[in-house]
Chain A
Amino acid sequence: MKWVVAILFVGALVAHAAPENTSFLQISQQAESAREANQLPQAINLYQKALQLRPTWFAGWWEVGSIYYDLDLYSDARGAFQHAQADAKMQAPADAFMGLCEYELRDYPAARTHLSKWRAAGEPGGPSVAHVANFRWAELLIQDGRFFESLSLLDKMALEMGPNPSIAEAMGLAWMQMKYVPETYPPEKREMVWLAGTAALWLSVNKHLDYSMVYLDRLTSRYGDQPNVHLLHGFVDEAAKDTDGAIDEDAKELKISPDSIAAMVQYALLCADAGKQLDEADAAAHRALTLEPGSMRSHFALGRVLVAEKKWAESAIELEKAEQLSPNVSKVHYQLARVYLKLGRKQDAQRESAAFQALERAQPIPGVVEPDSPIQSTEGPSQ
């Protein structure tokens, strides 16, 4: 993917600058003209001269940083954007570009810090910057083991962009729970990542379950003994409304990855939904909670199994814990509403029902990876 950078805010920033001496004014205007004429080496020289005369010309730092970035001179670009940040108005957009430069320079911790700041500031800079920066952010989330958050972002990007090999590769890494950015994972893992990623991408883009299954079947036949492959298969089976198939895949995953909390939670939830194998589901949910105490997904899974077992009071306790940990997961409110009704707590049930509906309305496009997806584990090889 080519990340062409739009030079942002330039008009406003140039207007903001107020050159005080003729020499600076002349040189800065020449620099601008050279940039507009795409004479970039000359433009860089002129900006540097102007910035020597006036180091507080922040618009100039921004401009020269943008030129360096477009020339793939990321170290120089980062330095220039750092200078530009001294102007409060440029701070957040410069965070995005510094993060992008640092990603290219493979300084991933610094990239994570700057992109995180940019996101916290509301992702300023327009859609082209948001597109690039969020993709890099998604890649860094995978490296950090935050697979679920990454998949949520990638899912949205796939819907916007359609099939794209870079998104597929990132999705493959996330689904296989490999803590790598695409540049650094072992080449011998490519086939597995490609198959998993393409299966996930087809599912995301057009909900093409049949296309997804082609890659998934091949993935399973080639790498069925590897962790997370059956977990993904179960996820796709579930999307295809094949609950029995999904339960079967999760059971296989648990044989390969007996400590996979994601598989335990997925298995427990599917069994509870189907009203099948509830003893095994109960055991899986309890084990998940033992391995990961205080996690929303484990409390929710146990609560959901207890609902299926009609143990209303016990399930209310677990679901309430899940709600406290993550108040914005609609499914938790839905289950709580059901349980409160069974317990005769009508007002509580109405409150939970309203919360459920509000959250459902707030999510206009349902993604493939939902907030309570059990994928959000941090298992996998470390860098």
Chain B
Amino acid sequence: MIAATALFALAMSTMAVAPDQPAHHASGAASQARSFGQISTAAMKAWNEKRDKDAMALFRQGLKLHPDWNEGLWYLGAILYDHDQYSDARDQLRRYLSLNPKNGEGWALVGLSDYKLREFTHAAEDLNRAVQNGLGGHWDLTGPSYYFSALLLTRDGHFAESSQLLYVLKDGDDGRTRVDVPLEVPMGLNALGYAMLPEEVPADLVPLARQAGVATFARFEGRPGEAKNIFEQLLKQYPNEQGLHFQLGYLLLLEHSADGVGEMQKAIALAPYDFEPLLSLADYYNDTGKYDEALVDVDKALALDSTVVSAHVTRGRILNAKGDTAGAIAEFETARKAGTSDNRVLWELARAYRKAGRQEEAAQVMKELQQQNALPQTPKQ
């Protein structure tokens, strides 16, 4: 688990909190203004001296006099978070955020409090707001926000999206991860398709999840042999795990090994609701020039879920390869309308427009692609 104190200290350091005197009402008595000034000074002194209980009491006193005291709301919320008083912390920080809705650090602390309170819908929304509003460009805060967002994506069954986030976290400097927690179990849960948080995984499944995570990271990091070996070993012990068949099948299909087809078919038989194995088969058949087989499988995937953008992209690629440029354009346009940020869609669409002689539209899409590429993708170090 992320240390609350570390997060708290970082949040403080990134905030650059200036001495913050609330605007006094014209009618406010001079004695009250003095009193507030004294309280706020004493509160900050207590905080600086790490006398948290005194600081909390003083911040509360100050907030009674000035409920919109920005600094007071922030410090009180952060201290409460640091003392595991998540419900109270969240209330103070929500008040702070009602006045400062663009503060990413605040949203991060609220999201983490939500998580601790097991209010996962709020947690996912608030952590997303944290990332959207920016976290000072540092991994120290972005990391935990990504990490818990990834866990929540897994719990809601968005395994691929979660895996992408976890991989970003794994890819730190000097071989270190960007968060101070093991990532193998969370990644393994995605590989296995288990909609659970790491702390919800029954003890007997933890070794399986961990090993599946190790193998998945090996795959992501370009060590397919190691990954394949681990998945094969795990399948001897857990022959009915759909996720293991899919992962092994994926690796085999990358090598264009026909054994991959068999693994994917096992995955489909074990989880007929999952479009991923069908899509992998479609990609494999397309890459090996078996366009009719590819079309059958991608259509099956789309029958399971017609909103899957990558399925439309694959279908477009297949149709393109079969010479049906108009059909391909229709698929790529569907994918684009879905609002995907996947550059591959724009690239394929531009190529298809060019092939169809629609140069102006191709140029427009290429321009869009360049603009997308110009956007910063990850936080600064």
Contacts and interface: CB of A to CB of B under 8 A. Distances in A.
A108 interface: no
A191 B94 contact: no
Interface of B: 68, 91, 94-95, 97-99, 101, 117-119, 121-122, 125, 155-157, 194-197, 199-202, 205, 270-273
B119 A210 contact: no
A72 B94 contact: yes
Nearest to A183: B118
Contacts of A1: 121
Given A73-B94, A165-B156, A191-B202, A214 B270 contact: yes
Interface residues of A, number: 26
Contacts of B271: 214
B208 to A, nearest CB: 13
9 contacts: A2-B125, A40-B98, A71-B97, A191-B200, A198-B195, A208-B273, A210-B272, A214-B272, A222-B202
Contacts of A75: 91
B202 A183 contact: no
A72 B122 contact: yes
Contacts of B118: 182-184, 187
Contacts of B155: 165
A187 B200 contact: yes
A184 B117 CA distance: 9
Contacts of B122: 72
Q: Which 5 residue pairs across A and B have the least CB separation, nearest first?
A: A190-B200, A211-B273, A165-B156, A71-B98, A187-B200
A333 to B, nearest CB: 38
A166 interface: yes
A75 B92 CA distance: 12
Given A40-B101, A44-B98, A165-B155, A188 B202 contact: yes
A202 interface: yes
Contacts of A208: 273
A7 to B, nearest CB: 17
B117 A183 contact: yes
B273 A41 contact: no
A73 B98 contact: yes
A130 B278 CA distance: 38
Contact of B195 (A40, A165, A222): A165
Contacts of B270: 214
A24 interface: no
A194 interface: yes
Nearest to A218: B240
B273 A183 contact: no
